[in-house]
Amino acid sequence: MSQKIGRSTLVLDTFPSIMSYASVVGKKEGEGPLARYFDAIFDDTTLGEKTWEKSESRMQKEAVSRALEKGGYATMQIDYIFAGDLLNQCISSHYGLRDLNIPFYGLYGACSTMAEGLSLASVFVDNNLAGFTMAATSSHFCSAERQFRLPLEYGGQRTPTSQWTATAAGSLVVGKSARPPFVKAVCGGTITDLGIKDINNMGAAMAPAAAQTIKTYLEDSHTGPQDYDLIVTGDLGLVGSELLIDLLKRDGIDISGVHNDCGKMLYDVEAQDVHAGGSGAGCSASVLCSYLLKKIEDGALKNVLFIATGALMSTTSFQQGESIPSIAHLVHLTYNRE
Amino acid sequence: MSQKIGRSTLVLDTFPSIMSYASVVGKKEGEGPLARYFDAIFDDTTLGEKTWEKSESRMQKEAVSRALEKGGYATMQIDYIFAGDLLNQCISSHYGLRDLNIPFYGLYGACSTMAEGLSLASVFVDNNLAGFTMAATSSHFCSAERQFRLPLEYGGQRTPTSQWTATAAGSLVVGKSARPPFVKAVCGGTITDLGIKDINNMGAAMAPAAAQTIKTYLEDSHTGPQDYDLIVTGDLGLVGSELLIDLLKRDGIDISGVHNDCGKMLYDVEAQDVHAGGSGAGCSASVLCSYLLKKIEDGALKNVLFIATGALMSTTSFQQGESIPSIAHLVHLTYNRE
C-alpha cells in the first residue's frame, strides 16, 4: 500500500518492480552514445509503413511487444496499460495498441507521459489494484515535425535553442518481485506557466515545472541531491538543463553534481547536430527503458530520480499567442528496497 | 481499499462519495430538457473570449470553480485533478486549469474522459492515496467542428447519423463522506475496433466498446440489467444506442428496459435538430454532473451504471483511411453503501 507523504507524493511500500522493459529507436538515435542499450534500431524509420503516423504507431507497438516478450508475459497477464503520445488525439497509442486487448487508460502528458504512466502503473500494482501493469509512449521526428512545426519537405532552418524530436518508443511492465529496479515513490506534477512563448525553446518553458516537482519531492521525502546517484530530467536539453540548475540554486538546492537530462544523453549533441538536444515523449521513455533501467538493475545506479517534463501547448494555442504551460512528473527508482 | 474482482474491475470498499459537482453549458444545451439542472447556461458561447478554444478552456475552468465553490472547497484541499478534452494536445484542460495549482494527471479518453477521470479519482480516494480528488472535462461545438470537421463558416450539410458536439463542461469532487452519490465500482475499458470508418457515425463505432465494457462488468459483478435503475451510456446517440442494445441482446443481455444515453438526454433530439443526438466529452460530463448525480443524491435513482464512450481517431487517421478505435469506461454509482 502507498503512504501519502505530501499532497501529491506517495511512497510505495511494496516497492513495485519493473519486471521487463524495452526501447526501440530510429537510425539517428541508433548512432548515438546509447546505441548498445536499445532493443532495436530501425534504420528505415518508416518501419515499412505508408505514413509517419503509422510508423510511430508501429514503433510503440514494437516497444510494448518486446517488453512483453523479454519478460515472457502474455498480453492477458497485463491488467492495464497506461499510454499516450504527442500526436493529435494520441493516435500512435490508440492505433499501435488497439490489437492487444489490454484494458487501457489513455494519458496526455506530452513528453512527461512515461513518468505519468509509470507513476500510475506503479501505484496500481502497489495497492493490489492490478497484478501486472504497463506504461508506454513514443514520438517520431517526422510525425512531430509536420504536426507541430513544418513538413520536412520545407527544409526549414532550426533555431539554436530548438530540440530534436526523438524517433523512439519505450515500454515497461510493472509487477511485484524481489528483483530491481524498484519504484520507491512517485510525485505528481502541477501545471506551471511562467509565460514563456518561444515554441523553439521548450526546455526553458519546461524547466520551472521540473524545478517545482523536484523541490516538492525533496521536501516531502526529507532528502537532498546528495542522496541520489542521478537526478535525470527528460527532456530539457542544454538550455533547459542550465535553467533548471539555476532555478533550484535560488532555492538553495544544488543538483549540478548529480543532474543529467535524457535530451542530452540520447544523442552526441554536438556531433549529431541536434542543437539543444533531444525531446519528444519517446526520448525520456527510450533512455529510461534502456540505459537507465539497465544501470539500476545492475546496481551501477542505486538511487535515481526520473523526472519527465511535458510542454502542454498545441499549434493552435501557439498561434493564438498563448504561453506554454508545462508539467513534470517524478518517479523515484532504486536498486535496493529500502 | 479496492477489491479486484476482474481483470480491470475494482469494487471500491470505502464507497468514495461525490462531494460536489457542477456543470455549465451553452445556449442550445440550456434550451434542452435538462436546463434546470445546470449550474450555468452561457447564452453567449464565446464566454467573452476571443477564440473558441479559449471559450472552451474558460468553460472547463468555470465547471471546476463551481464544483469547488458549491462544496466549499479550496483548491489547496484537492490532491489531484484528472482531466482532459478533445482538442489537439488537450489545450482546454491545460489552459483552463493552469492557474489552479492542483496536481494534474492529464488524460486522453475522447468522450469517455469523464468516466476515465472519475474512475481514477475514485480509486485514489478509496485507497487513501488522496483526501479529495477531482475530475473534469469539456467540449465546445465550435472548437470541435473546426478541428474535426469543417469551419462553421462553410455551412456544411450534416448527415443524419452525425451527432452534435455539446458545448458543455462538467466537474466533480470525490472524497469520503456518508452522503450519496457513492462510487461502488469501476471497470476500465479496452480499445475496440470493428472496422467502422464513417466519421459521421461515431455512435456506431463506439457501441461495440460500450457493449464489451457493460458485459465485462455484469459478469465480474454477477449482476444483470434488472439490478439497475439505469444503465446510461454517453454518447452513442440514437444510432449507437440501438446498436448497443442489439449487440448485448446477442449475448443474452437485454438492457432495453433500463438504458438511456446522455446524447439523447441532453437535447430534445427532434425539436432541436441535433440529428442522431449529442456527443463530445462535455455531453456525458454535463449530464452526469447535473441531472444524473442529482437524481442519485435524492434517491430517485439508486443504482446506476455510467458508461462514457470515446472514439479514439483523429482527422489524420481518418484521412489515412483508418477505422475508428473506441473505448468505454464504466463507473457504478449508488445511493446506498451496499
| B19-35 per-position pLDDT tens digit | 999 999 999 999 999 99
Within chain A, which residues score under 50 in pLDDT?
Answer: none
Q: Which residue in A61, A77, A128, A317 has the most chain B C-beta atoms within 10 A of its own C-beta, making it the best mutation to test that interface? A: A317
pLDDT of residue A53: 96
pLDDT of residue B35: 98
Which residue in chain A has the smallest CA separation from B57?
A: A317
This model of the complex carries an ipTM of 0.97
Banded pLDDT at B57 (limits 50, 70, 90): very high
- What is the least distance, in Å, from the CA of A140 to any CA of chain B? 15
Looking at the predicted structure, is the pLDDT value of residue B273 above 90?
A: no
Q: Do A98 and B129 touch (CB under 8 A)?
A: no
pLDDT of residue A327: 98
Sequence spans of domains, chain A: 17-175, 182-334
pLDDT of residue A186: 98
| B63-84 per-position pLDDT tens digit | 999 999 999 999 999 999 999 9
CATH annotation of B182-334: 3.40.47.40
Task: Kindly indicate whether the domain formed by B16-175 is annotated with CATH number 3.40.47.40.
Answer: yes
pLDDT of residue A123: 98
pLDDT of residue A146: 86
A-B contacts at Cβ under 8 angstroms: 180
> Grid cell 544523453 — which residue?
A265
Domains A17-175 and A182-334 share a fold: yes
Banded pLDDT at B201 (limits 50, 70, 90): confident
Question: B residues 241-270 near A, CB within 8 Å?
Answer: none
| A265-321 per-position pLDDT tens digit | 999 988 998 888 999 999 999 999 999 999 999 999 999 999 999 999 999 999 999
Instruction: Give the H or E element holding residue A168.
Output: strand A168-175
C-alpha cell at A28: 539517428
pLDDT of residue A233: 98
Average pLDDT rounded to a whole number, residues B126-131: 98
| B227-250 per-position pLDDT tens digit | 999 999 999 999 999 999 999 999
For A7, which of B53, B103, B313 is closest by C-beta distance?
B103
Its CATH architecture, for the domain A17-175, is: 3-Layer(aba) Sandwich (3.40)
Residue A41 CA from chain centroid, whole number: 18
